[in-house]
Chain A
Amino acid sequence: MLAFLIRRVLQTIPTVLAVVLLVFVLFSVVPGSIVSSMSDDSDPQVELRMKKQLGLDQPVYMRFGAYVARLATGDLGASFRTREPVTAMIAKRAWPTLQLIFASMAFAVLLGVPLGFVAALRPGSLVDTVSMMLAVSGLSLAKFWLGLLLMYLFALKLGWLPSFGYGDGSLKYLILPAVTLGVSPMALLARTTRAAVLEIMTADFVRTARSKGMSETRVVKWHVMRNALVLILTTMGLQFGALMGQAVVVEKLFSWPGIGSLLVDSVLQRDIPAVQGSILVVVLFFLSINLLIDVLYGVIDPRIRYA
């Protein structure tokens, strides 16, 4: 297992470097720069000096080399705009984003997986039809629109929850953004679970278990659930990554202080170190979650072994 972990961690290095290179090259070719956006009428000499100070007068390959060298020491550089260390900027935003993503995923798992199970255990029933209708609707709803609907209903009409903001970070501020973000993975998990359970229910080993006289509860618990979990975990891993991207819309809508809004503003202002840092954190999060899922495969299914 340790060898597997080391190998997987080493495998992430080329992925991270590729992402860093891609972002670097992208922001070197797109029009607009931090220097021109900072002042309306600065003197060309001043612009030149500023470019020198920020290192923007260097060729792209040299800037990239310097960045990677700094990165190796854990230094993400300083924001062009605020002059703050990027690590400090991200640190302030990381916790709210993690709160939002984990709460969304918890909502998705706690609702989506049981819904999929119930639907699969009674295929064609009213429960199945209604739950799958909800799942399809959840997948089709635009987050922005759904968020507004939830705000309208739970804040404006019922007065149960605040419509926006982070407040003191308490649960009441988290519910609406988390549900908005969690509806789509919830729907996907419900459908995936249903499909997986339906397939496993007709598998030979389930039929054998039943023929041995095992109770239906034990069959579902010991054979169906465990086998379906591998697929559910895979879906969850992929959804974690997707949530990081989708959080941008939800954070902006609910004035949630996460990495998403930092990324959007940094892109618009051509604050390259902040963009690179934010994207790097998103990528590392995605890779870590997937590594964790891979490890969990082995725990759930003893047949999976890591050489």
Chain B
Amino acid sequence: MFKTIAIVAGLGLALSATAEAQTPRKGGTIRMTAPYGSSFTSLDIHTTQRAQDEIYAKALHRSLYIWNSAEGKPVLELAKEDVVSGGGLVHTFKLRDDAYFHSGRKMTADDVIWSYNRIMDGSKAYPGARYVRVIEGAAAVEKGQAKEISGLKKIDDFTIEMKLTEKVDPGFYFFTALTSIYPADEAAKESFIQKPIGLGPFKFVEHVPGSRIVLERWDRFYKPGKPYADKIVVSVMGEAAARDVAFRNKEIDTSVLGPAQYVAYQSDAELKGTIVEVAEVFTRYMGMNPAFKPFSDKRVRQAINYAIDTDLIINKLVKGKAYRATSWLPLTAPGYDKTMKPYPYDPAKAKQLLTEAGYASGFEFEWTTSQNESWGLPIVSAVIPMLDKVGIKAKVKQVETAVLAEVVRTGDYQAFIYSQASGPDPQAALKCFHSATPQSACNYTTFKNAEFDKIIDEAGQADDMAKRIQLLQKANALLYEEAPVWFFNYNKAVMAVQPWLKGIQLNATELTHQNVEDLWVDETSPAK
């Protein structure tokens, strides 16, 4: 596995080295694809948390922070400086004074305050509320108890003070498009949803629902010389086979690859060089409900981890398009412990643990799953005979992905298989297993362990980063031992990129989310 990681890292270095070696070329059109559905949900990016929508939003909008793939962390974007005080709870941001909306107006502190207040409108349930809620007084606005977030103060037009409810890195909360900064005057208008205005490197030109979004260069973008391309076209292409033909036909510059295509592209001499891959911060797992008696016993949960030949499933069924999960935190997380080994495939050990737990003759449970090819029914179907070998019978309950999301949040299951974000903030990812975290938030398996809570609380208070990471590693190891889930895999995101498109970033939060101002096409592009 580490060999694979090294290859990925090497590929990343090679990509960045190649990009640096050449002088970025101005002009041309970048033709990206949105592969996660048959349309974009909305042009109001505050209303939608789909990865699909953030692809275009990366060109159109900007947030207080931005994800830096090379550094693997969020960095300041719309602010030049963040001065921390008040025991780590108060952040004073010096905003950029050269950021212009596509309407031509300069961004000020009022726009930031207006945007965050909008996101906290409880009647609209904007998905970004989960992030803005970290600001003191934001929850009161959400519940209709206050009109404005008390923890946000305008010092002057370009200075803003933000008081947080807990000591966290605000970068992890304010880097996605869900917290994009809108122009306060324009965004309130009805027309905004038809013709959105942002601070991004490209301005809106056209949206053909179900087909494409077209954006063109914003000449007053605040990064000198950027963006490089004249235009970006993001085409909606939910069908992998259609993307494959279009990519081979040089009609698109990027294409997300599924397991079957991953194998095909690897074995094709011409296409092999177009593959870009990264370990994304998503953990796939089977969650077990402790309210269901057998799963309340740690030995049973461990037995399940021993009973499944996880490597076999990853290699044969997922076609190697995943990294074996050890515990919860993914490979790219700072708290990931490289020395930790995953549960080995050991049916005898599983049987022994089941006997010790009083289930020598096994038991039966209902397993709720979606159709998803990478973490759904095909995986469940492969696991069932393995569990059967140790006496555990699983009955499949198949639901739609949207329904599954509701099932895991309401606890209406005995077991479920799911893919959950386990980053980029390792502390937030592990906090999902804190007993104070409600099931409806992200503690889907209602995990409760006093020792784990204590470690996470300590990590939250630690000022020293090294100490914090050490504590998170300890918490991650404890999860491994407690096995609230079957640790299946971490997603390996794979994208094919045409040789003329340069500057692709290995974004571990979502590979399709590119800081498009850094992308450029050379003269060999058919859309030059």
Contact = CB atoms under 8 A, between A and B. Distances in A.
Contact of A42 (B125, B235, B242): B125
B130 interface: yes
A166 B206 CA distance: 13
A93 interface: yes
B125 A38 contact: yes
A31 B442 CA distance: 20
Given A46-B142, A49-B123, A32 B249 contact: no
A52 B122 CA distance: 12
Contacts of B264: none
Contact of A45 (B39, B143, B238): B143
A152 interface: yes
B481 interface: no
A150 to B, nearest CB: 10
A286 interface: no
Interface residues of A, number: 55
B212 interface: yes
B503 to A, nearest CB: 24
A81 B47 contact: yes
5 contacts: A35-B125, A38-B49, A39-B125, A39-B126, A147-B242
A27 B76 CA distance: 44
B90 to A, nearest CB: 25
B187 to A, nearest CB: 13
A53 B126 CA distance: 14
Nearest to A166: B211
Among A36, A52, A164, A252, the one with the most B-chain Cβ atoms within 10 Å of its Cβ is: A164
Interface in B1-52: 37-39, 41-44, 47-49
Interface string A143-185: 0000110011001100100111110000000000000000000
B211 A47 contact: no
Interface of B: 37-39, 41-44, 47-49, 122-127, 129-130, 139, 142-144, 193, 208-212, 235-239, 241-242, 245-246, 248-249, 251, 399-403, 405-407, 409, 438, 440-442
B246 A32 contact: no
Contacts of B406: 31-33, 36-37
Contacts of B210: 93, 96, 251, 255-258, 261-262
B56 to A, nearest CB: 14
A258 B125 CA distance: 29
A156 to B, nearest CB: 5
Contact of B249 (A39, A46, A96, A156): A156
A156 B241 CA distance: 13
B39 A81 contact: no
Contact of A156 (B124, B245, B405): B245
B420 to A, nearest CB: 10
A262 B209 contact: yes
A41 B251 contact: no
A57 interface: no
Given A255-B211, A262-B210, A31 B242 contact: no
Contacts of A156: 245, 248-249
A96 B236 CA distance: 15
B123 A53 contact: yes
Contact of B242 (A35, A36, A82, A151): A151
